[in-house]
Chains A and B, each alone.
Chain A
Amino acid sequence: MEHIITTQNLSFEYHAEEQTRHLVLKDINLQFEKGQFIGIIGHNGSGKSTLAKHFNALLLPTEGKVHVKGMDTQDTNHLWDIRQTAGLVFQNPDNQIVATIVEEDVAFGPENLGIPPDEIRERVEYALKAVGMWEYKDYPPHMLSGGQKQRVAIAGIIAMKPECIILDEPTAMLDPIGRKEVISTIKKLNKEDGITVILITHFMEEVVDADRVIVMDNGKVVLDGTPKEVFKEVALLKKIGLSVPQVTELAYQLKREGFDVPLDILTVEEMVEFLCR
């Protein structure tokens, strides 16, 4: 398997004041495989957003290395290639839309890359159709709902033809409908267009059908595996202040009451299947 992003002994600290040093990331070693859907979870301050910013060279490691498609993020010659390869979508859709019209905003990235106008037009159409926002191409962004704005922001990244999209809590500010829209868009991009997705979130339900889930706490990776492997560790997850998917919680409670229920049940369908057996 080809690795799209790798980190070697990545540590990051920042200086809030003269003396105090905050070690935000501690010795992180991760390899992300191409084409996978990866979820990163952790509560506030666990360092997950800081980690995301290392993936496209917005932050550089204090120690260790980050490679994107073999390019060292510390090498400034590759800065724009790295940012084009690994696109970053942020939490607040309002603060990442630049232009006053949807299609012009989607064109912003390709324009920065110096792509010829005709090709930009094609890419904008492709990107807006991929997120299901083509019919809104002439709208001003402030007329759209939160979920629609976030999809436009994702289209803005897609138009740069990235191989990997990192989404830093893209649904945190959205209502349940908007959240659903965004998550199904991301899943579609991963399955149909083969784009590697790294989804940072604190909604466990969003990562139950990911290929891999990474749990972070206090700047370290504490769990790393398939969703079933990770969510089995109910006690550990609870200890670090995370919840598990509702159905897993139910299985956990049943088991504690003495029923013989496996803990790797993540969805309602699986639970129904198990109970009816």
Chain B
Amino acid sequence: MFRNITIGQYIPGDSVVHKLDPRIKIIITFIFIVAIFFINKLSGYIFAVLYLYLVIAISKTPFSYILKGLRPVIIILLLTVSLNMFFTPGGTVLYTLGPLKVTTSGLRLAVFMGLRLIFLIIGTSLLTLTTSPISLTDGIEHILKPFSRIGVPAHELAMMMTIALRFIPTLIEETEKIMKAQMARGADFESGNIVKRAKGLVPLLVPLFISAFRRADELAVAMESRCYRGGQNRTRMKQLKIQPRDYEALAVTLIMVLLIVWNRVWTW
């Protein structure tokens, strides 16, 4: 029942987008998000749409996956849109529904907030769809490294993420084993109401936690005996190297940003 769980939502591929340096990809995503919030005219979104279309086309990401990424946030999206629509003062009143008023400026803001959220989610899910969790972790570690002087635990965060990724399949396997063992002893995980089912999980969770702690303990000893002493003086086998394609991707992104700035400042 847990076999088909995918960690993150990475779809393996070998397009240019997949091969980009994870650091560059994270930075580009960040630039994109800032740019989205910089747009103040509907015409500005043309550039964002074009840019996203380009990325999706090059990476050959199935559009259905992108829509899937939007599904969990539909409620937040609707809430934001309606709050903005009904509670923004100013402008001429277009429609009245009891105490609620839809004004021109409200409608405008609602449309903008809605579009911003949608673009934000599409942009970030494109990052996770085209980057494996491992290289994402690598990228985050490298980006945070300069901040470790001011106390950001860059290496520790990355190590925690790596170990979590490493042990997810192991613990899933273990969960299945414990479930089967408890079912053989007459445990019931499927029938009854929510309270009963939640109670039924206790015989699953207790052994799972005990075993996870034991594993953590053994792993710590094994890491120590392999000379692990935190991030200090540690080297990495895999070095991230900026390739020409990374500069190209960055250049394309900057063109998009410039177009958006031009759109905001000089066009009507």
Given the complex, which residues of B lie within 8 Å of A97, measured CB to CB? 166
A93-106 CB mask vs B (1 if < 8 Å, else 0) is 01111111101100
Asked if residues A114 and B233 are in contact (CB atoms below 8 Å), the reply is yes
Q: Considering the complex, which residues of chain A in the window 79-116 have a beta carbon less than 8 Å from any beta carbon of chain B?
A: 80, 83-84, 87-88, 90, 92, 94-101, 103-104, 107-116
Which residues 92-148 of A sit at the B interface, judged by CB distance below 8 A? 92, 94-101, 103-104, 107-117, 120-121, 124, 140-142
A120 and B229 alpha carbons, distance in the complex (Å): 18
Residues of B contacting A88 with CB < 8 Å? 222, 225
Asked if A98 contacts B166 (CB within 8 A), the reply is yes
When the two chains form their complex, are residues A98 and B223 in contact, meaning their CB atoms are under 8 A apart?
yes
B227–A83 CB distance below 8 A:
yes
- The number of inter-chain residue pairs (CB within 8 angstroms) is 91
- Mostly, the A contact residues are helix
B215 interfacial contact with A, CB 8 Å = yes
**152-209 of chain B: CB within 8 A of chain A:** 162-163, 165-166, 169-170, 173
B19-48 interface bits toward A, Cβ cutoff 8 Å, 1 = contact, 0 = none: 000000000000000000000000000000
| Chain A: minimal CB distance from B97 (Å) | 54
CA distance A223 to B235 in the complex (A): 45
- For residue B218, which residues in chain A have a CB less than 8 angstroms away from its CB? 90, 92, 95-96
On B, residues with C-beta under 8 Å from A are: 133-134, 162-163, 165-166, 169-170, 173, 215, 218-219, 221-229, 233-239
A-B CB contact pairs (8 Å), 27 listed: A58-B221, A83-B227, A84-B227, A87-B225, A88-B225, A95-B215, A95-B219, A98-B162, A98-B219, A99-B162, A100-B162, A100-B165, A100-B166, A101-B134, A103-B237, A107-B238, A108-B228, A110-B237, A111-B237, A112-B226, A112-B228, A114-B235, A117-B237, A117-B238, A120-B235, A120-B237, A160-B226
